[in-house]
Structure 1
Amino acid sequence: MHIKVGMTQLANETVVTVDNLPFIGFSMPSKTNGSDPNSASWYLPKLRRNAKSEFKKRHIPGAAFFDIDQCCNKTSPLDHMLPSERIFAYYVGNLGIGNDTHVVVYDASNFGAFSAPRVWWMFRVFGHSSVSVLNGGLKNGANEGLPVSDRYSRPEQTEFRAYLNRSWVKTYEDILDNLDSKEFQVVDARPGGRFRGVDPEPRDNTEPGHIPGSISMPFSSFLSASGHLHPREDLQTMFTQAGVDLSHPLCVSCGSGVTACHVALAGKWVAPLDNPVSLLNSVWVWSSRTDGWG
């Protein structure tokens, strides 16, 4: 989900808490206050949860639903490939979001966050830096005083202009060249068993394994038992212990470009002024084009 609110001193905060929301203009929505929340929940098919149906029954008042299965390149055989600038701008504008909107993203995952970092990254890659993730998601927000509702009103369409920031994206060719140049670090957010090649991939005809030289940092390790991101200093320690230097360029990856965005989010939260954190949208692109992981 994202909450559309006014631009303020917190407009460049990567992560916000429920306590921050009054300071970025969040309030119960009306025709005049400019507030407009939106939901970005998405679940793995094996969970058999319908994110849109759940949204209709329970969401922050004023929310609209951001569907990453719809806002994507539908011509690709892979999941969640980036849409064009035109498609992203049209989709986001229909959610009532403009370029002067500060966006706060959350989801309703039991993890506390699952797909929300992906939507955060999508806004960043299309040039919108005024976007934050609600730490702890709806799971914790509802317990911390955020209102929830089953009432929905369609947002008014707004003009949004998208500009693809290519420094936030990596391609197969970039990864191939990097094997020799080592210009950037590669971090894999999939579970350790899939990274090591001992557990199966959730995609037919895809062998487990990893890109040579990549580092394993499963996305779940960035979250506490409560579903909140670990404190910044703890995240910095995690990166250091994993051998990741946030002062150098970083590329993140996973299966379909969702959980890798947890690594990107944590990296930009810990080191917001350092090098861009780019995304290889799917490690399956690599495995399919190299006939394995070699």
Structure 2
Amino acid sequence: MGMQSQALVTSRWLGNMVKRNLVGPSLRILDTSWFLPMMNRDGKKEFAQTHIPGASHFDIDDCSDRTSQFDHTLPSEELFSDYVGHHGISNDSHVIVYDASDFGAFSCTRVWWMFRLFGQPKVSVLNGGFRSWVKEGHPVTDQCSRPQPVKFKAKMNREWVKSFEDITENITTPQYQVVDVRPYARFLGKEAEPREGNVHVHVHVPTT
């Protein structure tokens, strides 16, 4: 595993990289925009209309285990390797992820974590996302980038993933802190889940 990149990069820094035409095999940009059904937005369509020059679209629906009955189940090492490799990302690439949410960061943090999980330490989130990029006056385009596919070798850190059985056992034999990241009203059961049968938890696992 190579040296870890800083978790956040600024629009100014990335704008300078784009201006100097440094987006390529060593620096890849991914628009990871994805929205809940209730948001009435389509990440793929919005990407096709406008995005950061040189960016490719990362679809968390496509890069998941489609045989699972649950949404966004982690893909296998082979599927992740193939998916990101077809976006021109190698193990030597520095990957910048962002999304176009109103929050500045929404789906991109999931993709950042997936890269780290699969052994890619050189991945950063664009601070403020596409919203800040546009607000600061950086260029946008509707031209799609089609990088040359390369080889990516994924190696999952399985200590970062917990099963249903792990979580159940943790209730009686606490080993780690479980954090529910849903809005507070949903945490209290006072607000319906946006998709039937979906309850998500994140497990905090210390990293080095």
TM over 0.5: yes
User: Would the aligned equivalents of 2:64 and 2:73 in 1 still touch at CA under 8 Å?
Assistant: yes
From the superposition, tell whether residues 32 and 139 of structure 1 become closer, same or farther in structure 2 (CA, over 3 Å).
closer
User: Would the aligned equivalents of 1:12 and 1:131 in 2 still touch at CA under 8 Å?
Assistant: yes
1:42 Cα deviation (Å)? 0.1
1:14 aligns with 2:23: no
Q: List gaps (5 residues or longer) in structure 2.
A: none
From the superposition, tell whether residues 170 and 33 of structure 1 become closer, same or farther in structure 2 (CA, over 3 Å).
closer
User: Would the aligned equivalents of 1:29 and 1:62 in 2 still touch at CA under 8 Å?
Assistant: no
Question: Partner of 2:66 in structure 1?
Answer: 74
Provide the rounded CA distance (Å) in 2 between the counterparts of 1:119 and 1:76: 19
1:123 Cα deviation (Å)? 0.3
- When normalised by structure 2's length, the TM-score is 0.89
Provide the rounded CA distance (Å) in 1 between the counterparts of 2:128 and 2:183: 21
Offset from partner CA, 1:230-258 (integer Å, 9 cap, x none): xxxxxxxxxxxxxxxxxxxxxxxx8457x
Q: Which amino acid aligns with 1:59?
A: H
Provide the rounded CA distance (Å) in 1 between the counterparts of 2:125 and 2:113: 10
Provide the rounded CA distance (Å) in 2 between the counterparts of 1:189 and 1:116: 15
User: Would the aligned equivalents of 2:100 and 2:131 in 1 still touch at CA under 8 Å?
Assistant: yes
Within a 5 Å distance, the mapping from 1:1-294 to structure 2 comes to 11-21=4-14, 25-27=17-19, 29=21, 34-204=26-196, 206=197, 255=199, 275-276=206-207
User: Would the aligned equivalents of 1:99 and 1:161 in 2 still touch at CA under 8 Å?
Assistant: yes
Provide the rounded CA distance (Å) in 1 between the counterparts of 2:91 and 2:177: 31
Residue aligned with 1:12, SS: coil
From the superposition, tell whether residues 75 and 30 of structure 1 become closer, same or farther in structure 2 (CA, over 3 Å).
same
Provide the rounded CA distance (Å) in 2 between the counterparts of 1:169 and 1:57: 35
Q: Could you tell which deviates more after superposition, 32-41 or 116-125?
A: 32-41
Q: Which amino acid aligns with 1:191?
A: P
1:36 Cα deviation (Å)? 3.5
| Structure 1 vs Structure 2 CA RMSD | 2.6
